[in-house]
Structure 1
Amino acid sequence: MTSVHPAPVTVAPVQASMAASAAHPDRSFPRLHPRPDQGWVNDPNGVAFADGRWHVFFQYNPESARHHRIHWGHMSSADLVCWDAHPVALAPQEGGPDAYGCWTGVVTHDAGVPTAVYSGVVDGSGRSQVVLARGSVDLEAWTQDGTVAAGMPADPRVVAVRDPFVFEFAGRRWALQGAGLDSGHAALLLYGADDLSAWEYHGVWLTSEDPVAAGLPEANIWECPQLVHSGDSWAAVVSLWRDDQLTGVGHLVGSLAQDPATGLPVFSHRATGLTDLGSSFYAPQAVQVPASAGAPKRVLVWGWAKEAAPAGVRGRSQEDCDAVGWSGALTFPRELAVRGDAVEVRPASELAALRAAEIAPVTGSVHDGGTHLPLPDQAEAVLTGSGAVRLVLGAAGDPLGEQLVWEGELAAGDEVRVLLDASIIEVYRAGGVPTTLRAYPRGEETYWLDLGPGVALRAWRLAVPGK
């Protein structure tokens, strides 16, 4: 169905400038995770590859550090390391189906035309409809004509719907939306989307009432659904919304088959797990990357690093964010793979290009012969061996002010990578899932690692190449 709209609107070229490495006055502003130097940022959207560049869109309010009148910001990179800013891609349309905001969605192709498929909202009720916008081949210019592909389904069980995801299977195009049911359970809804402008509703596809899905933390809505193929398995990744709280991200691992009677895709899940163990990770978006130039196919994932510090670490209030003029960032790109019944996530291989000068540790200062390593605000540490590890933020000579950001235990054969960028900390354990955290250095405070004597270490200062 198509809404009535006065005329197509092409978004004005408002630049979402990215701050230079050393230009932002707030020390806690990330230098390596690109984002506009001001405003609110949340969910990554519309990840796509075009003209030799990765394009990442994101929820963006250029006017303040608050979630309001959401636009789609836009950045791109040829190497996943050096990023360029682009004009704002989508903006709320006065009187249109997205007057209150252009929320989460994806970019796909419709008869060769790049098309943004996203949740349009007209008020603060949280009810949304699927809205389309058409883009140029280079993804630079976007036209919003008010096309609505799907409204709220006429299904009395469904009380909330949001965040469309489009995929292909068995020669057809399908779509998912996250949903909440009147029973209080979360769900995914299935649509046929061969005609991208007019979706066909096929009902509730998955629900948290299922015994296997009950292995995930409780949620009223499964937001931002992603469905990816890895090896012989599929993984459905969902963000967990419960009672107005963003409680984490989980996944269901299983297989996808076509029902011989209906032709619909059927997801048979066999295992569940958390996709990130930290307090700050939410709303990831995944994209399938085909094999090319000798590189194997892979799944790339970005997430929203929200302003939520772990217990015992000084955080930031909304008033603090208002004062500095920004809130939220996207994580580094990650690679997701399914191994058996488990999901494994590691930093994208391209991030090794950020390694600059190697940092020499100081030994023998802690843990009876362990290692104490001060870190700059942009750093990476690779830890192997066995023993205890602590990442601490504090000022020298002020033990009462120490903030324990993360701690862990390594066993023989383990490898942990810690990537630090001012207020964003990403900890990756090989064979497992990451832990995304936030902390806010200020004044004379520094980060440091305390390692047990059995833990080996290599560390680098991180910088964009050439800077």
Structure 2
Amino acid sequence: MSSPDLAAADFARLAAAHPDAAFPHFHPRPAQGWINDPNGVSHVNGRYHVFFQYNPASARHHKIAWGHLSSADLVRWEEHPVALRPQDGGPDEYGCWTGVVTDDGGVPTAAYSGVRGDGGHSQVVISRGSTDLVSWIQDGHVAASMPADPMVTAVRDPFIFRFNGKRYAMQGAGLASGHAALLLYTVEDLADWKYQGIWLTSENPVAATRTPAEIWECPQLVRVPAVSSAESLSGDDASSGDAWVMMFSLWLSGDDHEHANGVGHLIGSLAEDPATGLPVFSPETGGKSDLGRDFYAPQIMQLQDGAGAGTPGVPASSSALAALAEPKALLWGWANEGPGRDGRRGRSQAEIDAAGWAGVLTHPRLLSVVDGALAVAPAPEVDAYRGAQLAAQAAGSVELPAYAEAVVTARSGGPAALAADAVVELSLVADGSQEAGQVVFSGTLAAGEELRVFVDASLVEVYRSGSVATTLRAYPAPGERWVLRLPEGAAADVWQLAQP
């Protein structure tokens, strides 16, 4: 295996030399092949590891394996060999689908959905890894099969968490009633999960409103810091406590990588049932986890200050969890290619096949709860991509390069005030044209808010302070340029993105 520094340099160089102008330079992924859900995100021995569903053979969703990237700093990434592959005759013969990586007595262990054949039910398959997470042994061990519960018609996507010193797991599910559900398992032995029943369903009145679906895919459960906006504005880092955030990808029948319902979350509390000793999640509120149509299947990793947790949603120990004042949670999501949504120009399947690649992972995102609502921000490490500053407090129409960051705020100084209905737009405009062009993003801006806009070839991420992000795909045609249109009273600082 090459050294991380050399591999990272090669990765940046190869991305910059990619023949497709739509290929991202600052969101690492293999040069070819299909990718979707991030999996097994973890922090082990000082390195962040991000696995992802991967078809290295084509730009189509087929014969899914696990690809693997790692980084010491969330900026310079190394690509590793394929970690998990479908095994002929095994429980994952049709694909190694969504799952997590956890520590099992010092042994890195993947727990993921395996499917024997097209249309078959998934089972939880476990595989053991080397200490550097690069080599894996797939012996086809099944830790949990489809539960013998007549209400459960579909199950997928295991996630492991700890509560009160005990290890639990959950899976997303669909029910015969048409409702989405979570299934709960006790996991004293990682090789043998014990089904405890249906844990939560979309019949819950909060869930019915906030996270409607027929199957809850890719379920997550983490603790995040909860603060008030007054603390946030004052710069006081003191937490008002912690909140439990549960996140789902909202699957509907007929979804074909369109995912009209997107991703939703619930915010609530976790307590122990005195009768059963099992955890009970009580949702209080929730909402959309991203406002774009091109965001799906995120995975969250929980970190503790000074050390990696080593597994998504599982701190190093229960005592560490109890002592943790501000648990930090990092999220990666999947932005897929598509035929165009919400009036945006997309790519046909023929164009995707010709390009030879499909799918991008978002920047790592830091989660918190502000005034009872989910807030999402780019991980601070992403600031390292800022290169030359191209504009400071620019107003009106501001042209952006193909790889850019813009920070939009209310203009400092001057007589112009920001109108109550001020709108910021990001468009693709043909050279020499005075027309509005293709509007990729349109959103309001209020006094005191900040929008951080990232453009990486064909991927746009917009982060609103104190709120969730918006993830979008757009494909500049030859001769088109990115234009950021600012309302009166707004200004933008703009940087060229560059590899540090």
Measured against the shorter chain, the TM-score band is over 0.9
- One-letter identity of the residue aligned with 2:336: K
Determine helix, strand or coil for the equivalent of 1:350: helix
Stretch of structure 1 that moved more, 307-316 or 90-99: 307-316
1:70-81 alignment, distance < 5 Å: 70-81=64-75
| Higher fraction of helix | 2
**Offset at residue 122 of structure 1 (A):** 1.1
Match of 2:311 in 1: none
Question: Which residue of structure 2 aligns with residue 352 of structure 1?
Answer: 383
Q: Shift of the alpha carbon at 1:292?
A: 1.6
Partner of 1:12: none
Q: Which one of 138, 142, 150 corresponds to residue 144 of structure 1?
A: 138
Per-residue deviation, 1:444: 1.1
Aligned: 1:228 with 2:259: no
Report what 1:380 is aligned to. 405
Q: Which residue, 446, 457, 463 being the options, matches 2:492?
A: 457
- Cα deviation for residue 198 of structure 1 reads 0.6
SS class of match (1:352): helix
1:65-101 deviation per Cα after TM superposition (whole angstroms, max 9, x unaligned): 0000000000001110111100100000000000010
Corresponding residue SS for 1:90: coil
Cα distance in structure 2, aligned partners of 1:388 and 1:171:
48
The answer for the alignment partner of 1:301 in structure 2 is 331
Q: Write the distance in 1 (CA, Å) between the matches of 2:461 and 2:250.
A: 20
1:216 CA drift (Å): 2.2
Alignment-mate amino acid for residue 190 of structure 2: L
Q: Establish whether residue 117 from structure 1 lines up as the match of residue 127 from structure 2.
A: no
TM-superposed CA distance for 1:188, in Å, is: 0.6
Give the aligned residue type for 2:334: W
* Residues 353-373 of structure 1: per-residue CA shift (max 9 Å, x gap): 10000012696xxxxxx4211
Q: Residues of 1 paired with 2:370 and 2:406: CA distance?
A: 25
* Identical columns (%): 59
Distance 1:18 1:310 in 2: 31
SS of the aligned residue for 1:353 comes to helix
Distance in 2, matches of 1:295 and 1:453, equals: 42
Instruction: Read off the aligned partner of 2:485 and give its amino acid letter.
Output: D
Unaligned runs of 5+ in 1: 1-14, 364-369
Q: Select the residue among 212, 233, 237 that pairs with 2:247.
A: 237
Residue pair 1:228, 1:236 contacting (<8 A) in 2 also: yes
- Larger displacement relative to structure 2 (85-94 or 119-128): 119-128
Equivalent position SS for 1:351: helix
Instruction: Quote the residue 2:27 is aligned against.
Output: 33
- Does 1:282 find its partner at 2:296? yes
TM-score with structure 1 length normalisation? 0.92
Match of 1:154, SS state, is coil
Contact 2:211–2:265 at 8 Å: present in 1 too?
A: no
CA RMSD of aligned residues (A): 1.9
Tell me the CA shift for residue 401 of structure 1.
7.8
Gaps of 5+ in 2: 1-6, 226-241, 308-323, 411-417
Matches within 5 A, 1:258-273: 258-273=272-287
In the aligned structure 2, how far is the partner of 1:212 from the partner of 1:21?
A: 44
Q: 1:347 to 1:286 in 2, by over 3 A?
A: same
CA drift at 1:407 = 1.1
Is 1:444 matched with 2:479?
A: yes
Amino acid at match of 1:351: V
SS at structure 1 position matched to 2:74: coil
Alignment of 1:423 onto 2:458: yes
Distance (Å, rounded) in 2 between the aligned partners of 1:38 and 1:335: 28
Query: Residues 163 and 18 (structure 1 numbering): CA distance in 2 closer, same or farther, change over 3 Å?
Result: farther
In structure 2, how many angstroms separate the alpha carbons of the residues matched to 1:361 and 1:314? 31
**1:338 Cα shift?**
1.8
1:341 to 2:372 alignment: yes
Residue 205 of structure 1 pairs with residue 215 of structure 2: no
Report 1:5-154 matches (<5 A).
18=11, 20-125=14-119, 127-154=121-148
1:180 aligned residue: 174
Letter matched to residue 135 of structure 2: A
> Which residue of structure 2 lines up, in the alignment, with residue 5 of structure 1?
none
1:328 alignment counterpart? 359
TM-superposed CA distance for 1:27, in Å, is 0.3
Deviation of the 1:296 alpha carbon: 5.6
Partner of 2:315: none
Which has the higher mean CA deviation after the structures are superposed, 143-152 or 378-387? Answer: 378-387
CA distance in structure 2 between the aligned counterparts of 1:213 and 1:224, rounded to whole angstroms: 16
Corresponding pairs, count: 445
Q: Secondary structure at the match of 1:269?
A: strand
The answer for the alignment partner of 1:312 in structure 2 is 343
| 1:196 matches 2:207 | no
Q: Which whole-Å deviations, capped at 9, do the CAs of 1:134-161 have from their partners, x for residues lacking one?
A: 0011111100011000010000000000
